[in-house]
Structure 1
Amino acid sequence: MSSKRNKILLGVAGTVGVGVISWRALFPWIGYDIEVMKKGARYGKVLNKDITSGRFPINMFEEAVEKYPKKAFVIFEDRVYSYEFMNEQANKVANIAAKWGLKVGECVAIMIENEPSFIWTFLGLQKLGIAVAFINYNIKGQPLVHSIRACEAKVLIAGAADEIFHSVKEIKPTIQHIPIYVHGNNRGDGFESWDRLMLDTLPIQVCPSVRRGMGLHTPCCYIFTSGTTGLPKAVIMSQGKFISIGKFFQVFEFLPSDIIYTCMPLYHSAAGGLGLINTIDQGATMVLKRKFSASQFFDDVRKYNVTVIQYIGELCRYLLSVPENSQDGKHKVRVAVGNGLRADIWDQFKQRYNIPNICEFFGATEGVAGFVNLNNKTGSCGRYSPVTKMLDPGGSKLLVKVDLDTGEVVRDKNGHCLPIKVGEPGLLIGTIPEIYGSNGIYKGGREINERKLLRNVLKDGDCFFNVGDILSIDSDYFLYFKDRVGDTFRWRGENVSTLEVSNILNKLDAIQDANVYGVEIPGAEGRAGMAAIHLEDNVTLKENILRDIFNLATEQLPSYARPLFLRFPKERAITTTLKQQKTQLRKEGFHPEDIDDPLFFYDGQNKTYSPLTVETYDQFFIKSKL
């Protein structure tokens, strides 16, 4: 009996062993999937705890102040700002704002560069439950007016930079209905000094009862993103959404002892959302840089004992352009977290700078669908295997077939979307989480939200949000970002709306039509702006026209949105429905050998658009340092 039983057990063991080997052969990443599921479960547990208890970002901050009063919260330009000090400044902001009589959820816009005052102003307004609109300090003119109006701001607080002051001064007559406070003491022109108010106000703690009524769906802030409509859209970042953002770094076990380096603008969701809120959640330390500097990046990292760095893809490429140094790999960084790091520089960046773990993720400010690469898989932004889909039983994220020329989804005979196959590009769509409530994704009502919705996707009556990005999936279920759909392209880490740029260029009387699109540049991340311009019939292309276009672009567009190239085609590129056709223009690019039309490049040195010819092509790259 004993011998027979042993044979049976050995047989079972052998079968199980073969089964495990077979599973590992068929699914070599099964161990990774299980680890991802464990981390997902842990993330869900801590998130659910904070959601249930209503531990909003301002509660996170006030808990950190009580727990770590003397600890460094922000390190900025060699100055250390403790949690206690930042709280005192936030209290001053709250006491000033209390006199405005705003209700919980009403909005104040701030337009401040990367500096501690951005953070304490945001936190001070949060102490009253006031929503804060993070205004991009690069925009000006009509886009700036639109942004302030879109979020229904009751007050505008402008930062200390001269560029910000001039942009605000220019639009002041248009927004006379709201008070404007400006950092600095001697601005004049009817502006009230924010600095003087701060000096004259005591840092008395505000009772949390004043924000009673603040809930998961109450707006915490508005973060702006460019869309195909041509003007910035205000994404509603609810209190509940910011709680979930504040837990994201738990996928790599972000701790109170961590020091994070942030050089991206705080008005973006990467820095002002992920970086800031995760720091507050854990009571960690943020090293804040006013602007990105490739030459100073790792010097700062070493100087301040940074353990976590944030990046965007272009940032990493710039870092690789810095001359190699024997100190490159000497630091305390354990994780680099961000998005947009492309496969062609991934391993080079990791090896040169000795980065143990690259946590590449995919996510949009709108935030309805996201992925994260926890395996250091080169070039991937995450994984969506049958096993990991168990974390998403409702199928909230889908990749569907799309016409790359039109950006329209491909549907079957029943009008439903089609799933992609391995290796195919697909449009990412996602269901809208309950945490968004009935407010929608964007501030502005049903119409602005409806444009981004796809209905009857899998069945009649269902609804998904169109993320607007193209991803592909490989045979191992790893995901890779491919491109953006529609008229928006990404350059210098910013989304550029072709319609917005076109509208600016068309202001010039000499221009009949400007067709703006993005073109790929060898060795550069994203797409650079290019405009195919048709002049009025009675206008001849001369030097004065090129200077006028240069001046217009320089004065009315942020640097990242200015067309790097101009083309003057003989024929217009339009579709049969009289819409601008960009696909062929994108494919043709900007090389003089491929195009017969006159070409020009943005020449900052000579303050004009200069001819781009076969002879000047290489010189252009030297001048532009691309």
Structure 2
Amino acid sequence: MAAGTPRASPTRFPWSWASISSLSACRPRWDSSTTRPRSNPMVGRVVPAPGEGELPAANAAELFRRNGTHPELGDLPAVKFGRRVWSHRQFYEESCRWARLLMSNRPTGAFHVGLLLDNVPDYLFALGGAGLVGATVVGINHTRKGENLARDIVHTDVGLLVTEPRHQHELVPLLPDLDLPADRVFVTRRWVDEADPPSELGRDLEEEMAGFSPDDPGLDPDVDSVWALIFTSGTSSAPKAVICSQARLLKTGARMGLLLDVGSDDVGYVCMPLFHSNALMVGWMPAVVNGASVGLARRFSASGFLPDIRRYGATYFNYTGKPLAYVLSTPEQPEDGDNPLRRAYGNEGAPEVVSEFARRFDVEVVDAFGSTEGGIAVVRSEDMPKGSVGRAPEHIKVVDPDGDELPRARFDPQGVLANADECVGEIVNTQGMGPFEGYYNNPEATEKATRNGWYWSGDLGYIDHAGWLFFAGRTADWIRVDGENFPAGPIESALSGHPSVVVAAVYAVPDPQAGDQVMAALVPVEHGSIDLDELAEYLDGLAGIGPKWRPRYLRLAAELPSTGTNKVIKRSLARQKYRHDLVGDDELYFRPRGESRYRCFTEEDERHLHAEFVASGRERFWEL
């Protein structure tokens, strides 16, 4: 297509707020010789609050039928994986086969189908099949191992399990304790490569599917039936399974389609794991609702990101956690901005990272503050102060454990938070639970998150006098040094802003005398290192980081323990502390009180530190 030639108008539907979605009807197609127009995605549009707005279809089954049989949509792409492409009609047919497979093997208990898969097409086909028959898909985190993996499967009452050869070795030793017969396990070999082992358990999925027709089973599921159980990341405690009905996912897909301005000719790039809410709700559902397509990456790869974007012609993508920083750590090339992307939507991107990513790849990045539960939603704005996640709406408050609103944050002349003890509390939605529908099989956690009729996020924060909200970490992220309490979040943000740091995690480690000390684990840029003298000067020069907030200990690592969505598991870091026997080959440094630079923390230093714990009667903290 010639440069600058407008693309044909994408298909729009009455339920998709055509009066405003038509704003993007004539977006130019990407051509490597053109410069794409940039525009604010929110200008001129009215977007419903999370959980509100119209349903795009009576239920998931009606949506898939519409996409698969629509004269304009049926032959358009729906799923791309490598060089293979499935149209909406073919996706519908695959979903129908899956629906019949699920019905033929329906468990006697809960109709829960566990998926222990990478981002492969069968994951989406299974979601389609479950949507047609009212079954529940349980997204199982393949980074969880052993008893933790078994716990997730048992906790969610999985009655059928689908996996692939590369994950079966984790299941084999667990099966005797799962109350899951081998004939209830299906193994798909449709996406194997030379690195995959042979199948060792269960039934071959392709052989089983061959016996089922692509005809629609003709069911009409209740739109309030549970379509998915999505685990929280579990960075500070055991993951909880969030209930997601068909209604919630459909409304979310419609809302995100508005935010991302998705039409039927758009392509989403899904590289975040499909077992996480971000991939389903921000990556896939907007495409399904609007008759668009998605390109799948088995797993996120920083080096594979841009080649995939260009190969699939991706116009939007979703992210959560640190992927933007990892992509930025790859060497910059002059042609990085030569790509089809228009928009990215995600959360937990450091402001400096978001800005640099937008510049380098010529893409608009909308970084919001929210959670899997959906009870809190705040969008960043260009005029917000450094460190803020956006302006808090009237119904978003920061409160103490009794629900009393806390005083506004005050800062000293150097910009350091001066009243952390009184202003930092839990972020809550006083308007209600939003789209949150509870945790499966966990009434205590549900009650805790919904007391007073509010939604309690479990996130720490504070609000300044201008109404700007600041994230301060999880409720477990308090640090107490020399009697002063403060959150880890601002320190983490400061370290993440250093040009030599890709990922920063800040957490409390025990002090031999009393309270805590601050420790930071850092991942340097790819093939790079961190000048620790310069880092110390950088920290000392930051207006918002007081002396007690500066990390006493540093850990430099090639990678940090993380979830499948690249969120750092701080509880593992806190348990490993500054112990050489637990940190592996990672380098440890410390900055003794009163000194201006960091030096190597040797095994001899560790022995002296341990002796201090023993002498002060706090040896138990060494082992915690």
Task: Give the TM-score category using the shorter length.
Answer: 0.5 to 0.7
The one-letter code of the counterpart of 1:62 is: R
1:199 equivalenced with 2:210 (yes/no):
yes
C-alpha distance in structure 1 between counterparts of 2:109 and 2:241, whole Å: 18
Once the two structures are TM-superposed, the CA of residue 130 in structure 1 deviates from its matched residue by 0.4
- After superposition, the Cα gap between the structure-2 partners of 1:215 and 1:42, relative to the gap in structure 1 and judged at 3 Å, is same
1:521 equivalenced with 2:522 (yes/no):
yes
Partner of 1:112 in structure 2? 117
The one-letter code of the counterpart of 1:466 is: W
Once the two structures are TM-superposed, the CA of residue 566 in structure 1 deviates from its matched residue by 4.1
- After superposition, the Cα gap between the structure-2 partners of 1:420 and 1:236, relative to the gap in structure 1 and judged at 3 Å, is farther
1:166 equivalenced with 2:156 (yes/no):
no
Contact 1:313–1:340 (8 Å) recurs in 2: yes
- After superposition, the Cα gap between the structure-2 partners of 1:201 and 1:75, relative to the gap in structure 1 and judged at 3 Å, is same
Partner of 2:551 in structure 1? none
- After superposition, the Cα gap between the structure-2 partners of 1:280 and 1:487, relative to the gap in structure 1 and judged at 3 Å, is same
- After superposition, the Cα gap between the structure-2 partners of 1:298 and 1:35, relative to the gap in structure 1 and judged at 3 Å, is closer
Once the two structures are TM-superposed, the CA of residue 166 in structure 1 deviates from its matched residue by 0.5
Once the two structures are TM-superposed, the CA of residue 112 in structure 1 deviates from its matched residue by 1.1
C-alpha distance in structure 1 between counterparts of 2:265 and 2:162, whole Å: 33
C-alpha distance in structure 2 between counterparts of 1:595 and 1:379, whole Å: 33
Q: Which runs of 5+ in 1 are unaligned?
A: 1-33, 390-394, 401-408, 456-461, 499-514, 526-552, 571-584, 601-626
Contact 1:73–1:285 (8 Å) recurs in 2: yes
Once the two structures are TM-superposed, the CA of residue 72 in structure 1 deviates from its matched residue by 0.8
1:149 pairs, out of 154, 161, 166, with 154
- After superposition, the Cα gap between the structure-2 partners of 1:270 and 1:518, relative to the gap in structure 1 and judged at 3 Å, is farther
Kindly report which structure 2 residues correspond to 1:348-497, keeping only aligned pairs within 5 A, or say none: 348-355=356-363, 357-373=364-380, 383-384=390-391, 389=394, 395=395, 397-400=396-399, 409=400, 416-421=404-409, 425-431=424-430, 433=432, 441-453=438-450, 455=451, 462-473=452-463, 477-486=467-476
C-alpha distance in structure 2 between counterparts of 1:320 and 1:416, whole Å: 42
C-alpha distance in structure 2 between counterparts of 1:587 and 1:282, whole Å: 58
- After superposition, the Cα gap between the structure-2 partners of 1:36 and 1:273, relative to the gap in structure 1 and judged at 3 Å, is closer
SS in 2 for 1:295: coil
Contact 1:519–1:586 (8 Å) recurs in 2: no
The one-letter code of the counterpart of 1:329 is: G
C-alpha distance in structure 2 between counterparts of 1:103 and 1:436, whole Å: 30
C-alpha distance in structure 2 between counterparts of 1:94 and 1:36, whole Å: 38
C-alpha distance in structure 1 between counterparts of 2:132 and 2:592, whole Å: 51
C-alpha distance in structure 2 between counterparts of 1:270 and 1:204, whole Å: 31
1:70 equivalenced with 2:75 (yes/no):
yes
Q: Deviations over 1:180-211 (max 9, x none)?
A: 222249966552221210123221211034x3
Contact 1:428–1:467 (8 Å) recurs in 2: yes
C-alpha distance in structure 1 between counterparts of 2:219 and 2:432, whole Å: 28
Contact 2:165–2:199 (8 Å) recurs in 1: no
Once the two structures are TM-superposed, the CA of residue 258 in structure 1 deviates from its matched residue by 1.5
Q: Deviations over 1:561-598 (max 9, x none)?
A: 5659945679xxxxxxxxxxxxxx9999xx97385766
Q: Deviations over 1:356-392 (max 9, x none)?
A: x22111111111111223658686775436xx64xxx
TM-score where L is the length of structure 2: 0.65
Larger Rg, first or second structure (1 or 2)? 1
Once the two structures are TM-superposed, the CA of residue 319 in structure 1 deviates from its matched residue by 1.6
Contact 1:228–1:487 (8 Å) recurs in 2: no
C-alpha distance in structure 2 between counterparts of 1:92 and 1:517, whole Å: 54
Equivalent residues, number: 468
Once the two structures are TM-superposed, the CA of residue 92 in structure 1 deviates from its matched residue by 0.9
Contact 2:409–2:465 (8 Å) recurs in 1: no
Kindly report which structure 2 residues correspond to 1:524-603, keeping only aligned pairs within 5 A, or say none: 563=573, 566-567=576-577, 593=599
Contact 1:43–1:251 (8 Å) recurs in 2: no
C-alpha distance in structure 2 between counterparts of 1:473 and 1:273, whole Å: 28
Kindly report which structure 2 residues correspond to 1:286-325, keeping only aligned pairs within 5 A, or say none: 286-325=294-333
2:280 pairs, out of 266, 272, 290, with 272
Partner of 1:236 in structure 2? 243
C-alpha distance in structure 2 between counterparts of 1:358 and 1:89, whole Å: 34
Contact 2:319–2:346 (8 Å) recurs in 1: yes
- After superposition, the Cα gap between the structure-2 partners of 1:188 and 1:117, relative to the gap in structure 1 and judged at 3 Å, is closer
The one-letter code of the counterpart of 1:593 is: R
1:254 equivalenced with 2:270 (yes/no):
no
C-alpha distance in structure 2 between counterparts of 1:445 and 1:586, whole Å: 43
- After superposition, the Cα gap between the structure-2 partners of 1:104 and 1:90, relative to the gap in structure 1 and judged at 3 Å, is farther
Once the two structures are TM-superposed, the CA of residue 287 in structure 1 deviates from its matched residue by 1.3
C-alpha distance in structure 2 between counterparts of 1:410 and 1:72, whole Å: 50
1:128 equivalenced with 2:162 (yes/no):
no
C-alpha distance in structure 2 between counterparts of 1:96 and 1:376, whole Å: 53
C-alpha distance in structure 2 between counterparts of 1:104 and 1:566, whole Å: 41
C-alpha distance in structure 2 between counterparts of 1:204 and 1:464, whole Å: 45
- After superposition, the Cα gap between the structure-2 partners of 1:381 and 1:171, relative to the gap in structure 1 and judged at 3 Å, is farther
Contact 1:338–1:360 (8 Å) recurs in 2: yes
CA RMSD of aligned residues (A): 4.3
The one-letter code of the counterpart of 2:187 is: V
C-alpha distance in structure 1 between counterparts of 2:231 and 2:212, whole Å: 31
Partner of 1:337 in structure 2? 345
- After superposition, the Cα gap between the structure-2 partners of 1:235 and 1:166, relative to the gap in structure 1 and judged at 3 Å, is same
Q: Which runs of 5+ in 2 are unaligned?
A: 1-39, 191-196, 412-422, 479-487, 497-501, 508-515, 527-560, 581-589, 607-624
- After superposition, the Cα gap between the structure-2 partners of 1:153 and 1:426, relative to the gap in structure 1 and judged at 3 Å, is same
